[in-house]
Amino acid sequence: MSKDKLKQYVYIVQSSKEIISCKIGVTNDLERRLKEYNNMTGKSKGTVYQYLFTCEVSDMKQVENDIKAEFNNLREDKSKEMYFYNKNLFEKYVDFIKSHKAFVEEIFIKTDIQKETVKIVKRTNPTLKERELSPKDIMQQAQKVKNDEFYTQYEDVEKEVEMYDSEIWKDKVVFCNCDDAVGDTEDKNNNNTSAFALYFIKNFEKLGLKKLICTHFSGGIDLFSQGPKGYVYTYIFTKTKNEETREFPKGYNGSFDDPLSLKILNEEADIVCTNPPFSRARDYWDIVINSGKKFLIISNFTNVKNDAYIPYFMNKQVWAGYNEVYWYLTPKKQITKAAGHWYTNLPIKDRPKYRNIKLMPLKNIPEKIKNTIIKEYDDSKTLLVNNNYIPSDYKKPFAISVFPILSGILEKGYEIVQEKQYRPYINGKEVFARVLVQKI
Protein backbone atom coordinates (compact mmCIF):
# COMPACT_ATOMS: atom_id res chain seq x y z
CA MET A 1 0.00 0.00 0.00
CA SER A 2 1.39 3.41 -0.93
CA LYS A 3 2.16 5.88 1.83
CA ASP A 4 -0.60 8.29 0.86
CA LYS A 5 -3.19 5.50 1.18
CA LEU A 6 -2.13 4.36 4.64
CA LYS A 7 -4.83 4.81 7.22
CA GLN A 8 -4.06 7.11 10.11
CA TYR A 9 -4.95 6.43 13.73
CA VAL A 10 -4.82 8.21 17.06
CA TYR A 11 -4.71 6.04 20.17
CA ILE A 12 -4.58 6.26 23.95
CA VAL A 13 -2.63 3.40 25.50
CA GLN A 14 -1.85 2.61 29.14
CA SER A 15 0.53 0.34 31.01
CA SER A 16 -0.88 -1.91 33.73
CA LYS A 17 1.92 -0.60 35.97
CA GLU A 18 1.32 3.12 35.33
CA ILE A 19 -2.31 3.84 36.11
CA ILE A 20 -1.88 7.58 36.67
CA SER A 21 -0.54 8.24 33.19
CA CYS A 22 -1.26 7.30 29.59
CA LYS A 23 0.34 7.72 26.17
CA ILE A 24 -1.51 9.55 23.40
CA GLY A 25 0.10 8.62 20.13
CA VAL A 26 -0.40 8.18 16.39
CA THR A 27 0.28 5.28 14.05
CA ASN A 28 -0.56 3.75 10.68
CA ASP A 29 -0.80 0.25 12.16
CA LEU A 30 -2.62 -0.31 15.48
CA GLU A 31 -1.80 -4.01 15.68
CA ARG A 32 1.92 -3.51 15.10
CA ARG A 33 2.06 -0.58 17.52
CA LEU A 34 0.50 -2.52 20.39
CA LYS A 35 2.89 -5.42 19.79
CA GLU A 36 5.80 -3.00 19.97
CA TYR A 37 4.63 -1.77 23.37
CA ASN A 38 4.22 -5.30 24.71
CA ASN A 39 7.64 -6.39 23.45
CA MET A 40 9.70 -3.45 24.66
CA THR A 41 13.20 -4.33 25.85
CA GLY A 42 13.58 -3.82 29.57
CA LYS A 43 9.84 -3.85 30.23
CA SER A 44 8.99 -4.93 33.79
CA LYS A 45 7.67 -8.44 34.18
CA GLY A 46 3.89 -8.47 34.27
CA THR A 47 3.55 -5.11 32.53
CA VAL A 48 0.83 -5.19 29.89
CA TYR A 49 -0.16 -2.37 27.56
CA GLN A 50 -3.75 -2.02 26.43
CA TYR A 51 -5.59 0.49 24.29
CA LEU A 52 -8.05 2.70 26.16
CA PHE A 53 -9.23 4.46 23.01
CA THR A 54 -8.52 4.27 19.28
CA CYS A 55 -9.90 6.09 16.28
CA GLU A 56 -9.22 6.78 12.64
CA VAL A 57 -8.37 10.34 11.59
CA SER A 58 -7.62 12.10 8.33
CA ASP A 59 -4.55 13.97 9.60
CA MET A 60 -2.90 12.31 12.59
CA LYS A 61 -0.02 14.79 12.86
CA GLN A 62 -2.41 17.72 13.05
CA VAL A 63 -4.45 16.00 15.75
CA GLU A 64 -1.29 15.12 17.66
CA ASN A 65 -0.04 18.71 17.55
CA ASP A 66 -3.41 20.10 18.63
CA ILE A 67 -3.54 17.65 21.55
CA LYS A 68 -0.11 18.85 22.66
CA ALA A 69 -1.25 22.46 22.47
CA GLU A 70 -4.57 21.88 24.24
CA PHE A 71 -3.20 19.70 27.05
CA ASN A 72 0.36 21.00 27.25
CA ASN A 73 0.21 21.44 31.03
CA LEU A 74 -0.93 17.83 31.50
CA ARG A 75 2.14 16.30 29.85
CA GLU A 76 4.49 14.51 32.24
CA ASP A 77 7.50 15.33 30.08
CA LYS A 78 7.53 17.97 27.34
CA SER A 79 9.67 15.70 25.14
CA LYS A 80 7.24 12.79 25.32
CA GLU A 81 3.55 12.21 24.65
CA MET A 82 2.86 10.95 28.19
CA TYR A 83 -0.15 12.57 29.83
CA PHE A 84 -1.58 12.45 33.33
CA TYR A 85 -4.55 10.13 33.60
CA ASN A 86 -7.75 9.76 35.56
CA LYS A 87 -11.33 9.19 34.42
CA ASN A 88 -12.09 12.88 34.20
CA LEU A 89 -8.99 13.68 32.16
CA PHE A 90 -9.48 10.63 29.93
CA GLU A 91 -12.96 11.85 28.98
CA LYS A 92 -11.50 15.25 28.13
CA TYR A 93 -8.86 13.69 25.88
CA VAL A 94 -11.42 11.53 24.08
CA ASP A 95 -13.96 14.33 23.68
CA PHE A 96 -11.29 16.66 22.29
CA ILE A 97 -10.17 14.05 19.74
CA LYS A 98 -13.73 13.17 18.72
CA SER A 99 -14.64 16.83 18.26
CA HIS A 100 -11.57 17.50 16.06
CA LYS A 101 -12.22 18.18 12.38
CA ALA A 102 -9.81 15.42 11.38
CA PHE A 103 -11.74 12.78 13.37
CA VAL A 104 -13.19 10.07 11.10
CA GLU A 105 -14.60 7.38 13.38
CA GLU A 106 -13.96 5.67 16.67
CA ILE A 107 -12.65 2.13 16.46
CA PHE A 108 -13.38 -0.65 18.90
CA ILE A 109 -10.25 -2.62 19.74
CA LYS A 110 -10.52 -6.12 21.10
CA THR A 111 -7.16 -7.30 22.42
CA ASP A 112 -6.09 -10.82 23.26
CA ILE A 113 -3.07 -10.43 25.52
CA GLN A 114 -1.83 -13.99 25.00
CA LYS A 115 -1.91 -13.86 21.22
CA GLU A 116 -1.40 -10.11 21.01
CA THR A 117 -3.93 -9.74 18.22
CA VAL A 118 -6.06 -6.76 17.43
CA LYS A 119 -9.54 -6.88 15.98
CA ILE A 120 -10.87 -3.68 14.47
CA VAL A 121 -14.61 -3.13 14.30
CA LYS A 122 -16.25 0.05 13.05
CA ARG A 123 -18.54 1.73 15.57
CA THR A 124 -21.98 2.99 14.72
CA ASN A 125 -22.09 5.68 17.43
CA PRO A 126 -23.80 8.90 16.27
CA THR A 127 -21.57 11.84 15.41
CA LEU A 128 -21.66 15.13 17.33
CA LYS A 129 -23.69 16.64 14.49
CA GLU A 130 -26.20 13.78 14.63
CA ARG A 131 -26.49 14.28 18.38
CA GLU A 132 -26.95 18.04 17.85
CA LEU A 133 -23.98 18.79 20.12
CA SER A 134 -21.03 21.10 19.67
CA PRO A 135 -17.49 20.37 20.92
CA LYS A 136 -18.13 22.95 23.65
CA ASP A 137 -21.22 21.04 24.81
CA ILE A 138 -19.23 17.82 24.99
CA MET A 139 -16.43 19.38 27.00
CA GLN A 140 -18.91 20.81 29.49
CA GLN A 141 -20.89 17.58 29.81
CA ALA A 142 -17.84 15.35 30.16
CA GLN A 143 -17.38 16.21 33.83
CA LYS A 144 -19.89 13.97 35.53
CA VAL A 145 -20.72 13.79 39.20
CA LYS A 146 -18.85 10.51 39.64
CA ASN A 147 -15.66 12.31 38.67
CA ASP A 148 -16.10 14.91 41.41
CA GLU A 149 -15.31 12.36 44.11
CA PHE A 150 -12.03 13.91 45.19
CA TYR A 151 -11.11 16.62 47.61
CA THR A 152 -8.52 19.28 48.20
CA GLN A 153 -5.37 18.69 50.20
CA TYR A 154 -4.58 20.84 53.23
CA GLU A 155 -1.30 22.18 51.85
CA ASP A 156 -3.06 23.57 48.76
CA VAL A 157 -5.52 25.52 50.91
CA GLU A 158 -2.73 26.80 53.12
CA LYS A 159 -0.53 27.76 50.15
CA GLU A 160 -3.25 29.88 48.54
CA VAL A 161 -4.92 31.51 51.55
CA GLU A 162 -1.62 32.71 52.97
CA MET A 163 -0.83 34.62 49.76
CA TYR A 164 -3.45 37.24 50.69
CA ASP A 165 -3.18 40.16 53.08
CA SER A 166 -4.17 38.95 56.55
CA GLU A 167 -6.38 42.03 57.02
CA ILE A 168 -8.76 40.56 54.41
CA TRP A 169 -9.87 37.90 56.92
CA LYS A 170 -10.06 39.98 60.08
CA ASP A 171 -13.53 39.99 61.71
CA LYS A 172 -14.98 38.13 58.73
CA VAL A 173 -17.42 35.22 58.53
CA VAL A 174 -15.97 32.52 56.27
CA PHE A 175 -18.45 30.15 54.63
CA CYS A 176 -17.32 26.75 53.26
CA ASN A 177 -20.41 25.45 51.48
CA CYS A 178 -19.43 22.45 49.34
CA ASP A 179 -19.33 19.38 51.60
CA ASP A 180 -16.81 20.92 53.98
CA ALA A 181 -17.55 18.51 56.81
CA VAL A 182 -15.92 18.62 60.24
CA GLY A 183 -15.17 15.31 61.92
CA ASP A 184 -14.17 14.40 65.46
CA THR A 185 -13.82 17.65 67.36
CA GLU A 186 -11.10 16.10 69.51
CA ASP A 187 -8.89 15.37 66.52
CA LYS A 188 -8.99 17.89 63.69
CA ASN A 189 -6.22 16.04 61.82
CA ASN A 190 -8.34 13.01 60.99
CA ASN A 191 -9.64 12.10 57.56
CA ASN A 192 -13.19 13.12 58.39
CA THR A 193 -12.58 16.86 58.13
CA SER A 194 -12.44 18.95 54.97
CA ALA A 195 -9.07 20.62 54.35
CA PHE A 196 -10.88 23.98 54.13
CA ALA A 197 -12.59 23.55 57.51
CA LEU A 198 -9.40 22.21 59.06
CA TYR A 199 -7.30 25.13 57.84
CA PHE A 200 -9.68 27.81 59.10
CA ILE A 201 -10.18 26.11 62.47
CA LYS A 202 -6.42 25.81 62.98
CA ASN A 203 -5.80 29.40 61.91
CA PHE A 204 -8.95 31.00 63.32
CA GLU A 205 -7.15 33.26 65.79
CA LYS A 206 -4.22 33.98 63.49
CA LEU A 207 -6.56 35.26 60.78
CA GLY A 208 -8.75 37.08 63.28
CA LEU A 209 -11.94 35.46 61.98
CA LYS A 210 -15.31 36.26 63.48
CA LYS A 211 -17.00 32.98 62.59
CA LEU A 212 -16.55 29.87 60.43
CA ILE A 213 -19.60 28.15 58.91
CA CYS A 214 -19.26 24.81 57.09
CA THR A 215 -21.85 22.54 55.54
CA HIS A 216 -21.95 18.78 55.01
CA PHE A 217 -23.64 17.45 51.87
CA SER A 218 -25.85 14.41 52.33
CA GLY A 219 -25.96 13.28 48.70
CA GLY A 220 -23.57 11.10 46.67
CA ILE A 221 -20.37 9.71 48.14
CA ASP A 222 -19.92 10.38 51.87
CA LEU A 223 -16.35 11.62 51.50
CA PHE A 224 -15.87 12.38 55.16
CA SER A 225 -17.86 9.54 56.76
CA GLN A 226 -20.22 12.06 58.32
CA GLY A 227 -23.44 10.20 57.74
CA PRO A 228 -26.46 10.64 55.45
CA LYS A 229 -27.81 13.87 56.94
CA GLY A 230 -26.80 17.33 55.83
CA TYR A 231 -25.72 19.66 58.61
CA VAL A 232 -24.41 23.14 59.36
CA TYR A 233 -21.26 23.41 61.45
CA THR A 234 -20.43 26.70 63.18
CA TYR A 235 -17.17 27.62 64.91
CA ILE A 236 -16.45 30.78 66.91
CA PHE A 237 -13.74 31.68 69.38
CA THR A 238 -14.29 33.76 72.48
CA LYS A 239 -11.72 35.14 74.87
CA THR A 240 -12.04 32.09 77.07
CA LYS A 241 -12.76 29.16 74.75
CA ASN A 242 -13.83 28.01 71.32
CA GLU A 243 -17.47 27.17 70.72
CA GLU A 244 -18.72 24.84 68.00
CA THR A 245 -22.16 23.62 67.08
CA ARG A 246 -23.52 21.14 64.58
CA GLU A 247 -27.16 21.52 63.53
CA PHE A 248 -29.26 19.10 61.45
CA PRO A 249 -32.18 21.16 60.09
CA LYS A 250 -35.12 19.07 58.92
CA GLY A 251 -35.02 18.43 55.17
CA TYR A 252 -31.62 20.08 54.78
CA ASN A 253 -29.32 18.29 52.33
CA GLY A 254 -26.26 20.52 52.67
CA SER A 255 -26.06 21.44 48.97
CA PHE A 256 -24.76 24.91 48.13
CA ASP A 257 -28.09 25.73 46.44
CA ASP A 258 -30.32 24.50 49.28
CA PRO A 259 -32.52 27.40 50.53
CA LEU A 260 -30.78 27.35 53.92
CA SER A 261 -27.32 27.45 52.31
CA LEU A 262 -28.43 30.39 50.19
CA LYS A 263 -29.78 32.15 53.27
CA ILE A 264 -26.43 31.75 55.06
CA LEU A 265 -24.58 32.96 51.96
CA ASN A 266 -26.68 36.07 51.56
CA GLU A 267 -27.24 37.00 55.20
CA GLU A 268 -24.16 35.87 57.12
CA ALA A 269 -21.16 35.12 54.93
CA ASP A 270 -18.43 37.64 54.14
CA ILE A 271 -16.02 35.36 52.26
CA VAL A 272 -16.75 32.02 50.59
CA CYS A 273 -13.86 29.56 50.34
CA THR A 274 -14.24 26.01 49.01
CA ASN A 275 -13.83 23.59 46.11
CA PRO A 276 -17.20 23.28 44.33
CA PRO A 277 -17.83 20.17 42.19
CA PHE A 278 -16.45 20.75 38.69
CA SER A 279 -19.62 19.29 37.19
CA ARG A 280 -21.73 22.04 38.78
CA ALA A 281 -19.26 24.89 38.47
CA ARG A 282 -21.50 27.00 36.25
CA ASP A 283 -24.38 26.93 38.77
CA TYR A 284 -22.00 27.60 41.63
CA TRP A 285 -20.30 30.55 39.94
CA ASP A 286 -23.67 32.11 39.09
CA ILE A 287 -24.84 31.87 42.68
CA VAL A 288 -21.67 33.03 44.44
CA ILE A 289 -20.69 35.82 42.05
CA ASN A 290 -24.21 37.21 41.87
CA SER A 291 -24.39 37.21 45.68
CA GLY A 292 -21.84 40.00 45.68
CA LYS A 293 -19.75 38.27 48.35
CA LYS A 294 -15.99 37.88 48.33
CA PHE A 295 -14.84 34.40 47.33
CA LEU A 296 -11.79 32.18 46.90
CA ILE A 297 -12.63 28.95 45.11
CA ILE A 298 -11.10 26.19 43.01
CA SER A 299 -12.43 25.42 39.54
CA ASN A 300 -11.34 23.99 36.19
CA PHE A 301 -8.35 25.86 34.72
CA THR A 302 -10.09 26.00 31.31
CA ASN A 303 -12.99 28.09 32.67
CA VAL A 304 -11.25 31.24 31.44
CA LYS A 305 -11.90 30.26 27.82
CA ASN A 306 -15.39 28.77 28.18
CA ASP A 307 -18.41 30.80 27.07
CA ALA A 308 -20.24 30.40 30.39
CA TYR A 309 -17.42 32.07 32.33
CA ILE A 310 -15.73 34.52 29.95
CA PRO A 311 -18.21 37.35 30.70
CA TYR A 312 -17.24 37.20 34.38
CA PHE A 313 -13.57 37.73 33.51
CA MET A 314 -14.44 40.32 30.89
CA ASN A 315 -16.49 42.33 33.41
CA LYS A 316 -13.79 42.01 36.11
CA GLN A 317 -16.07 40.09 38.48
CA VAL A 318 -13.49 37.33 38.86
CA TRP A 319 -9.82 36.77 38.14
CA ALA A 320 -7.25 34.04 38.63
CA GLY A 321 -5.92 33.39 42.11
CA TYR A 322 -2.24 32.67 42.73
CA ASN A 323 -1.90 28.91 42.32
CA GLU A 324 -2.95 25.94 40.21
CA VAL A 325 -4.22 22.81 41.96
CA TYR A 326 -3.55 19.55 40.14
CA TRP A 327 -3.37 16.88 42.85
CA TYR A 328 -6.34 15.76 44.92
CA LEU A 329 -7.29 12.83 47.12
CA THR A 330 -9.98 10.26 46.34
CA PRO A 331 -12.29 8.79 49.02
CA LYS A 332 -9.77 5.93 49.24
CA LYS A 333 -7.02 8.48 49.97
CA GLN A 334 -5.35 7.87 46.62
CA ILE A 335 -3.72 10.71 44.72
CA THR A 336 -5.56 11.73 41.54
CA LYS A 337 -4.97 14.48 38.99
CA ALA A 338 -7.43 17.11 37.79
CA ALA A 339 -6.61 20.43 36.18
CA GLY A 340 -7.75 23.04 38.69
CA HIS A 341 -6.91 26.63 39.54
CA TRP A 342 -7.88 29.13 42.23
CA TYR A 343 -10.26 31.92 41.26
CA THR A 344 -11.19 34.93 43.33
CA ASN A 345 -12.38 38.54 43.58
CA LEU A 346 -9.96 39.30 46.41
CA PRO A 347 -7.13 41.78 45.71
CA ILE A 348 -3.98 40.31 44.16
CA LYS A 349 -0.60 41.82 45.03
CA ASP A 350 2.72 41.09 43.34
CA ARG A 351 1.51 38.00 41.49
CA PRO A 352 4.53 35.64 41.09
CA LYS A 353 3.20 34.39 37.76
CA TYR A 354 3.71 37.80 36.16
CA ARG A 355 7.21 36.59 35.34
CA ASN A 356 5.70 33.90 33.08
CA ILE A 357 4.41 36.53 30.67
CA LYS A 358 6.80 37.31 27.82
CA LEU A 359 5.81 40.88 27.00
CA MET A 360 7.71 42.32 24.01
CA PRO A 361 7.27 44.09 20.65
CA LEU A 362 5.58 41.95 18.03
CA LYS A 363 8.67 41.89 15.79
CA ASN A 364 10.69 40.33 18.63
CA ILE A 365 8.29 37.44 19.15
CA PRO A 366 9.67 34.38 17.30
CA GLU A 367 7.46 32.69 14.74
CA LYS A 368 8.59 29.25 15.83
CA ILE A 369 10.71 27.64 18.55
CA LYS A 370 11.84 24.17 17.49
CA ASN A 371 8.59 22.50 16.35
CA THR A 372 6.24 24.82 18.24
CA ILE A 373 4.56 27.68 16.38
CA ILE A 374 4.67 30.80 18.54
CA LYS A 375 3.25 33.51 16.28
CA GLU A 376 0.95 33.15 13.27
CA TYR A 377 -2.17 34.56 11.65
CA ASP A 378 -5.30 32.48 11.12
CA ASP A 379 -7.47 32.47 8.02
CA SER A 380 -9.28 35.63 9.16
CA LYS A 381 -5.93 37.43 9.67
CA THR A 382 -6.28 37.40 13.46
CA LEU A 383 -2.95 37.14 15.28
CA LEU A 384 -2.44 34.01 17.41
CA VAL A 385 0.35 33.89 19.98
CA ASN A 386 1.40 30.94 22.11
CA ASN A 387 3.68 30.08 25.04
CA ASN A 388 2.78 33.18 27.09
CA TYR A 389 4.18 35.60 24.50
CA ILE A 390 2.29 38.92 24.42
CA PRO A 391 2.86 41.67 21.80
CA SER A 392 3.37 44.94 23.70
CA ASP A 393 2.87 47.20 20.66
CA TYR A 394 0.00 45.47 18.87
CA LYS A 395 -3.21 47.53 18.77
CA LYS A 396 -5.65 45.03 17.24
CA PRO A 397 -7.38 42.12 19.04
CA PHE A 398 -5.31 38.94 19.18
CA ALA A 399 -5.95 35.43 20.48
CA ILE A 400 -4.22 33.77 23.43
CA SER A 401 -4.56 30.55 25.44
CA VAL A 402 -5.64 30.33 29.07
CA PHE A 403 -2.11 30.51 30.47
CA PRO A 404 -1.43 34.26 30.07
CA ILE A 405 -4.80 34.95 31.71
CA LEU A 406 -3.96 32.68 34.64
CA SER A 407 -0.61 34.49 34.83
CA GLY A 408 -2.32 37.88 35.18
CA ILE A 409 -2.19 39.49 31.75
CA LEU A 410 -5.58 41.15 32.40
CA GLU A 411 -3.85 43.14 35.15
CA LYS A 412 -1.16 44.37 32.78
CA GLY A 413 -3.16 46.68 30.54
CA TYR A 414 -5.07 44.12 28.46
CA GLU A 415 -8.74 43.20 28.37
CA ILE A 416 -10.99 40.49 26.93
CA VAL A 417 -12.94 41.89 23.99
CA GLN A 418 -15.26 39.02 23.06
CA GLU A 419 -17.75 37.29 25.38
CA LYS A 420 -17.36 33.97 23.62
CA GLN A 421 -14.28 31.85 23.03
CA TYR A 422 -12.45 32.43 19.78
CA ARG A 423 -12.11 29.43 17.48
CA PRO A 424 -9.43 30.06 14.83
CA TYR A 425 -9.01 28.25 11.52
CA ILE A 426 -5.65 27.57 9.90
CA ASN A 427 -5.85 26.57 6.23
CA GLY A 428 -9.49 25.71 6.73
CA LYS A 429 -8.85 23.50 9.76
CA GLU A 430 -10.14 24.51 13.17
CA VAL A 431 -7.51 24.59 15.91
CA PHE A 432 -7.87 24.82 19.68
CA ALA A 433 -10.04 27.56 21.15
CA ARG A 434 -8.60 30.72 22.64
CA VAL A 435 -9.61 34.04 24.17
CA LEU A 436 -9.64 37.27 22.19
CA VAL A 437 -7.87 40.13 24.01
CA GLN A 438 -6.66 43.61 23.18
CA LYS A 439 -4.35 46.21 24.68
CA ILE A 440 -6.35 48.89 26.49
Range from 27-31, 133-137, 207-211 carrying the lowest mean pLDDT: 133-137
The answer to whether 215 and 180 have CB atoms below 8 angstroms apart is yes
Which of 349, 369, 386 terminates a domain? The answer is 349
For 299-317, write each residue's pLDDT tens digit: 998 899 999 999 999 999 9
User: How high is the mean pLDDT of the chain?
Assistant: 83
Q: Are 292 and 214 members of one domain?
A: yes
pLDDT for the residue 327: 84
Q: Are 197 and 281 members of one domain?
A: yes
Instruction: Give the residue, 265 or 241, on which the prediction is more confident.
Output: 265
Range from 93-97, 139-143, 202-206, 234-238 carrying the lowest mean pLDDT: 139-143
Instruction: Give the residue, 398 or 193, on which the prediction is more confident.
Output: 398
Is a pLDDT exceeding 60 seen at residue 417? yes
Is a pLDDT exceeding 90 seen at residue 296? yes
Mean pLDDT for 225-234 is: 76
Is a pLDDT exceeding 50 seen at residue 385? yes
pLDDT for the residue 220: 60
Q: Are 240 and 132 members of one domain?
A: no
Is a pLDDT exceeding 60 seen at residue 123? no
For 163-195, write each residue's pLDDT tens digit: 999 999 999 999 999 877 787 655 444 567 888
Mean pLDDT for 53-82 is: 85
Q: Are 119 and 219 members of one domain?
A: no
Q: Are 301 and 405 members of one domain?
A: no
Which of 88, 108, 142 terminates a domain? The answer is 142
pLDDT for the residue 184: 64
**In angstroms, rounded to a whole number, what is the distance separating the alpha carbons of residues 283 and 276?**
10
Q: Are 168 and 184 members of one domain?
A: yes
Instruction: Give the residue, 88 or 324, on which the prediction is more confident.
Output: 324
Residue 308's CATH number: 3.40.50
Is a pLDDT exceeding 70 seen at residue 47? yes
**In angstroms, rounded to a whole number, what is the distance separating the alpha carbons of residues 92 and 87?**
9
Q: Are 190 and 317 members of one domain?
A: yes
pLDDT for the residue 318: 97
For residue 246, what are the domain limits? 147-349
The domain tally of the chain equals 3
Q: Are 126 and 237 members of one domain?
A: no
Q: Are 340 and 360 members of one domain?
A: no
For the chain, what percent of residues have pLDDT higher than 70? 82
Q: Are 233 and 369 members of one domain?
A: no
Q: Are 56 and 161 members of one domain?
A: no
The answer to whether 376 and 420 have CB atoms below 8 angstroms apart is no
Mean pLDDT for 138-164 is: 68
Backbone angles phi and psi of 203, in degrees to 5: -110, 20
The residue among 296, 271, 347 whose CA lies nearest residue 158 is 296
Which of 349, 371, 400 terminates a domain? The answer is 349
Q: Are 168 and 137 members of one domain?
A: no
pLDDT for the residue 110: 61
